[in-house]
Structures are given as C-alpha cells and as structure tokens.
Homo-oligomer: A and B are copies of this chain.
Amino acid sequence: MKLTPPTIKDIADRANVSISTVSRALNNKSVVRQDTRTAVLEAAKLLGYEVNVFARGLAGGQSMTIGVVSREIGCTLYDTVMQGVIRGFAGTGYSPIFIEGQSGEDFGGEMIQKLISRRVDGIMTLGGDDTFPENLLNHLPEELPAIVIGKSVKGWEKRCVVTDNFGASYQATQLLIENGHRDIAIIRGDMHIQDAISRYDGYCKALEDANLKVLPDLIQNGDFLAHSGLMGIHALLARGKPFTAVVCGNDQMAIGAKLALQRRGIRVPEDVSLIGFDDEPLSAYVSPPLTTLRQSGVEMGRIAAKGLIDLISAGSCELPLLACELVERESVAKLRST
C-alpha cells in the first residue's frame, strides 16, 4: 500500500487542471465540461484515488457517515436489521456507525454530541420504546435527515420503516379464530417496546371484530425471551381460565410456551394452538414446526438505508409499509369439537 494515498492535487497535475476543477468533477457538479470531467475521472481511477473523508468533512462537504443509534440491542430481529443496514450502505460510500445507548442514557446529551462530533450526514434509529426514539429526535437539528426503524413516530410517519405489526397480529389472531378458537390467550412481549404494543393491539382488535372479549385472565406479560414464554404458560394455566390457543409476541416465547405445554402433557396443536412472530431460523425445526409471521430484518435495514440516502440526496423518500408473511406450519390446528 502506498503510504501517502493520492490527493486531488495529484489528479489535478495529471489531468492538467486545477484542484477546484477536480473537486467539482469528482462531486458531479454541473459546471464542469464533459471532456474535462472524463479526463479527471480517468486520472483519478488511474491513480487509485479515494477521497479523504476527513478533509471533505472538514471542508464542509459531506461526512459520508451515518449514525445508527439504538437502545440496547439483544433482540435477534435488530441484529439482522443491522446486517441489512450494513448491506444497504455497502457500495454507496456511506459508512454507518453504530451507537448503542444504554437504557436510561441521556439521549439529548452524550449521544447527540457524538453524532455532532462525527458530523454525520444522517441518522437512523433502531427500535422503539416509550420514550425512544422521540427523545433523540427532539434534540436533533431540523435539517438532519433521519429515518426511524421499528416504530411509527408521530409526525415522522413518512420517515418510519415499520412492519405492519398490528396487521400481522390481527391476521394471526384471525387465523386462530377461523380455526374455531374462542378462548385465545396472548403472551405479550415487553410492553415498553413498540412491537409488543402493536401486536397486542392487533390481537385485541381481531378479537373485538369477532365479537370476542379480551379477557385479562388470558393476557400474560413476557419479555421476548423463551423463558418468559415458558413461565407465561404456567401463569396462564395457574389462573384456571381455560384456553385453546395462544398468540405469542415472538417465536422465542412461542417455543418456550410450547415446551411448557408439552411438559404439562398438553399437546400442541391438538390441545392448544400456538402462533409466533419473526420466523426465526429454528422455528421450522421444532416439533411441531411453528406457525409464525415472518418479517425480514435484513429487508428493513436495506429499505431504511436506501430511504435515508434518498432523503439526503433528494430531500424525500418513499417508504413502504412492510407486510408480514404468514408462514403456516403445524402449530395451529382446528379446534376439536368437544
């Protein structure tokens, strides 16, 4: 590797133009004549020129850096979203940097400072709870392009990449209802998290639309981890209120629930149907294979990245509402007539 990479000065010499022209040609400003531009571009290519991000950033140009800020990660979905983000930015010149806020962190403070310090060209937020990402967004300079992933934030609807959790959950619950189930329990995810809330709402709506009651005895809280699914079943059972199906906040909890049921001698799906969310890699390989609603984290990340780039360059972006795909496997069965 060359110790001192070529600079625009080198290009300028080689192409017999001034460095300003080189800069303009490289940045696709319109004021360069076509043949000069190609000459410059050729010289640049020949020299293996790569812009010095720092110099550009300093000079007031773009930093080509995107700040991706999230609350504590640890949820499988957002891991894959990160992947999608990385891929989405690959080859675009932008580099995402990830900032993970510890819970309870002062988002207005340190985090913003870090973003400023790096002069990010845009930011993305990952995930949502009661206060995040609103607390961050509120402190952001108006003109900084931002995309929100995983929560539909008031006033930012056009800039949110979300899966239709409500609709998906509605669909899941409806599937259960169509199969004859009446006593449908739910093990919710962490209700501080937006996804959990939307899914719960979808469950309620589906029930109501079918003239079924939402019974507190059939509602159990979890935290998206398998263990809470398992404990959830025990809690549900302990209440004595019978149920024949359970909507689970995600696959992990569904699998925990499944285990708890099976250990108690309750068969899935013969006695109790189960449905999850996310379609994790393993969900197809448990017994019975889990019926679930698939959403692609990678896709979310990709879309968000593309959206943010559009936002930066064009000032606007088009973001589709991502639908979940129902993956019917074997954990849901028709209610046996008793």
| Contacts from A to B (Cβ < 8 Å) | 1, 3, 5, 48, 50-58, 63, 65, 73-74, 76, 79-80, 82-83, 86-87, 90, 95-100, 102, 112-114, 116-119, 139-141, 225-226, 230, 252, 255-256, 258-259, 262, 280-282, 284-287
A55 to B58, CA, bound (A): 6
Contacts A54-B54, A230-B285 known; A86 to B112 CB distance under 8 Å?
A: no
Contacts A74-B83, A112-B1 known; A226 to B282 CB distance under 8 Å?
A: yes
A256 to B285, CA, bound (A): 6
Contact of A80 with B83 in the complex, beta carbons under 8 Å: no
Number of copies: 2
A-B contact pairs, 17 of them (CB 8 A): A52-B117, A54-B56, A54-B58, A76-B76, A79-B79, A79-B80, A79-B83, A86-B100, A90-B100, A95-B97, A95-B99, A95-B114, A96-B97, A226-B285, A255-B282, A259-B287, A286-B286
Contact of A5 with B54 in the complex, beta carbons under 8 Å: no
> Smallest distance from the beta carbon of A112 to chain B beta carbons, Å?
7
Contact of A119 with B73 in the complex, beta carbons under 8 Å: no
Contact of B50 with A113 in the complex, beta carbons under 8 Å: yes
Residues from chain B with a CB closer than 8 A to the CB of A3 are 141
Q: Across the A-B interface, give the 4 residue pairs with the lowest CB-CB distance, nearest first.
A: A54-B57, A50-B117, A79-B79, A95-B97
Tell me which of A112, A226, A282 has the highest count of chain B C-beta atoms within 10 A of its own C-beta.
A282
Tell me which of A95, A114, A252 has the highest count of chain B C-beta atoms within 10 A of its own C-beta.
A95
Contact of A83 with B90 in the complex, beta carbons under 8 Å: no
A90 to B69, CA, bound (A): 12
Neighbour of A73 across the interface among B48, B83, B118, CB < 8 A: B83
13 further interface pairs, Cβ-Cβ under 8 Å (given A50-B117, A252-B285): A50-B113, A52-B117, A54-B55, A54-B58, A58-B58, A65-B97, A74-B83, A95-B118, A96-B97, A226-B284, A255-B286, A258-B285, A280-B282
Residues from chain B with a CB closer than 8 A to the CB of A57 are 53-54, 57
A96 to B56, CA, bound (A): 20
Contact of B58 with A140 in the complex, beta carbons under 8 Å: no
Tell me which of A53, A96, A113, A114 has the highest count of chain B C-beta atoms within 10 A of its own C-beta.
A53
> Smallest distance from the beta carbon of A133 to chain B beta carbons, Å?
16
> Smallest distance from the beta carbon of A257 to chain B beta carbons, Å?
9
A8 to B250, CA, bound (A): 50
Contact of B79 with A119 in the complex, beta carbons under 8 Å: no
Residues from chain B with a CB closer than 8 A to the CB of A55 are 54, 58
Residues from chain B with a CB closer than 8 A to the CB of A112 are 1
A209 to B76, CA, bound (A): 39
> Smallest distance from the beta carbon of A43 to chain B beta carbons, Å?
16
Closest to A57 in B: B54
Residues from chain B with a CB closer than 8 A to the CB of A102 are 90
> Smallest distance from the beta carbon of A123 to chain B beta carbons, Å?
12
Residues from chain B with a CB closer than 8 A to the CB of A74 are 83
Contact of A255 with B285 in the complex, beta carbons under 8 Å: yes
Residues from chain B with a CB closer than 8 A to the CB of A76 are 76, 79, 281
Closest to A280 in B: B282
